[in-house]
Structure 1
Amino acid sequence: MWDRAKAAWLATGRQAVITGVAASGLYGANWVDADTTIELISPRHARPQPGLVVRQESLASDEITTVAGLPVVVRARAAFDLARHLGRSEATARLDALMRNGVFSVEDVHVLAKRYPRVRGLRQVAGVLPLVDGGAASPRETRLRLLYIDAGLPRPATQVPVFDGWRVVRLLDLGWEGFRVGSEYDGDVHRTDRRAYVKDLRLRATVENLGWTVDHVIKEDRDAEIIERATRMLLSRGWKP
């Protein structure tokens, strides 16, 4: 992706600054494909090209840095732009990944929102920022967390430790520690890696013996099924809606 980002920057006469998903990828955030669209902020109009988006937007000098030899917006500005221009679910997943890779200040993003009170997408920025959690290890975990929140369940924590005495035996993807209820997204590794699958089964038994009940979600599950199972588990542990 670096080569494509550099080519896009050169095509603008070295006047533009990289932002959006490409910026998060240059910072090292996960889940950025090599062919991702390169988003640039440029002081002048640029001819549209496949795989390239150029926006003429205001950009202050303190919002620009250099990453791998290329001009890139600072993390807070990247988060600001991602939250404005992507849908709610994808924006949250992208900000989760950016936060997981290296913490950015949510307060700095709020400062940018005050700096640019008339830009498009501010309402979505205000809605997305409280949802960000750098503990999410994948976009599917982000989506699962949002599913629970939108269903009216208590907000789950991420990377929830299960203790056996002082020893952590498992980190659950999501969980409600006070109720000892957890949720795990079971990806393809359970189908392709037999050793990992067997190890996971043994750990599941250990977690259950320590008093936890854990729902294992797969991609074939319907949203309503996932919500129903989590609700039932929480109610059985004393949660009151």
Structure 2
Amino acid sequence: MRAQLEGLRDRQFGVFTAAQVLVEYTRAELRARLHRGEWVRVFHGVYREAGTHPGPELRVEAARLSMGLPVLVAAYNTAAELHGFSIAESNATHVLGVQLTRSKHLVVHQDRLDPTQVAMVNEVSTTTAARTAIDTARTSRRMDALATLDTATRVGLSLDELNHELARQHRRRGFRQAAELIDLVDGRAESPMESRTRLRCHDAGLPRPQPQLEVPTPDGPRRLDLGWSQYRIGLEYDSVAWHSGLHAAAKDNARHNHLATQGWTIFYATALDVLHQPQLFTEPIRQAINRRRVESKGR
């Protein structure tokens, strides 16, 4: 890459515009590099080198250059990526503005924004962490919304910050969903699927489980994804996939066997169960809880 364009690329998070290219290259050279796959189009009139990872900083800068704006604010899932609590895999870049776009890969939200709701992350303008979390919780599917809120609190947001931001958005679409889910937030969840599993338990009317419940065993503490210690019932999400392979799974099995001798019952849920047929694990857990309640009354 020629020197002037290389300098611009380095100052622009790895992207450059067609106009910047044409200062040092001919239009035929630009087309040739695109045809060979050396350069890749990000948004209209903006490119990156094929080996450059299209992270959120790059994509927001590409959107700013494509739209011809001095400043552009990242929002929703793209802002969540910047803040470190995105749980959604999306090809779209979300920003705030008034300019409409027909690209499915660049979504411009015409939201109002107070200056106090803007932050700088990695030299990129973005909605604050609290604004981002509530925006996402309002507009995502319920299971994804809770997973986002759990992850946001795990990386440092407090419930006070979330509630303060929620109050600022009390008339916006999805407010009720966000308000309901804040009461369920628990930053101890270690994966989005654990959050989704916990929400399925809540929706089934089960007592509130404790995430990452530690139970002592002779081989050391056994940590359950979710547990009801008063009933000696645990729930694991897809344990072989989420623990460290077959060796770890064998160790887990030994600990589960010990838990069984202590009166614990462990249930399992797969991704298919959580996403499409939660009754396959929530109903057995409900029945087990009811049995334990009856047993405790008979003592």
Once the two structures are superposed, the pairs formed by residues 110-189 of structure 1 within 5 Å of their partners are 110-164=163-217, 169-187=221-239, 189=241
Residue in 1 that maps onto 2:66:
11
Structure possessing the higher radius of gyration over alpha carbons: 2
- The answer to whether 1:88 aligns with 2:162 is no
Residue in 1 that maps onto 2:42:
none
Query: What secondary structure sits across from 2:260 in the alignment?
Result: helix
Say which of 52, 68, 79 aligns to 1:23: 79
Q: In the aligned structure 2, how far is the partner of 1:190 from the partner of 1:18? A: 32
Q: 1:48 to 1:214 in 2, by over 3 A?
A: same
- The answer to whether 1:69 aligns with 2:123 is yes
Residue in 1 that maps onto 2:281:
226
Q: 1:190 to 1:59 in 2, by over 3 A?
A: closer
Q: CA deviation at 1:14?
A: 3.8
Q: CA deviation at 1:191?
A: 10
Residue in 2 that maps onto 1:50:
104
Alignment length (residue pairs): 236
Q: In the aligned structure 1, how far is the partner of 2:208 from the partner of 2:245? A: 31
Higher relative contact order (CA 8 A, sep 6+): 1
Percent of pairs identical after alignment?
A: 31
Query: What secondary structure sits across from 1:72 in the alignment?
Result: strand
Task: Identify unmatched segments of 5+ residues in structure 1.
Answer: none
Q: CA deviation at 1:142?
A: 1.6
Q: In the aligned structure 2, how far is the partner of 1:21 from the partner of 1:149? A: 25
Contact persistence 2:240–2:249 (CA under 8 A) = no
- The answer to whether 1:106 aligns with 2:162 is no
Q: In the aligned structure 2, how far is the partner of 1:191 from the partner of 1:121? A: 35
Indicate the larger mover: 189-198 or 216-225. 189-198
Q: In the aligned structure 1, how far is the partner of 2:243 from the partner of 2:153? A: 29
Contact persistence 1:65–1:73 (CA under 8 A) = yes
Q: In the aligned structure 2, how far is the partner of 1:191 from the partner of 1:145? A: 18
Q: 1:45 to 1:82 in 2, by over 3 A?
A: same
Instruction: Give the root-mean-square deviation of aligned CA atoms.
Output: 2.6
Query: What secondary structure sits across from 1:183 in the alignment?
Result: strand
Q: Amino acid of the residue matched to residue 111 of structure 1?
A: H
Q: In the aligned structure 2, how far is the partner of 1:185 from the partner of 1:220? A: 11
Query: What secondary structure sits across from 1:238 in the alignment?
Result: helix
Residue in 2 that maps onto 1:216:
268
- Name the TM-score, length of structure 1 as normaliser: 0.86
Q: In the aligned structure 2, how far is the partner of 1:96 from the partner of 1:190? A: 18
Q: In the aligned structure 1, how far is the partner of 2:187 from the partner of 2:181? A: 13
Q: Amino acid of the residue matched to residue 84 of structure 1?
A: R
Q: In the aligned structure 2, how far is the partner of 1:137 from the partner of 1:105? A: 17
- The answer to whether 1:41 aligns with 2:96 is yes
Query: What secondary structure sits across from 1:65 in the alignment?
Result: strand
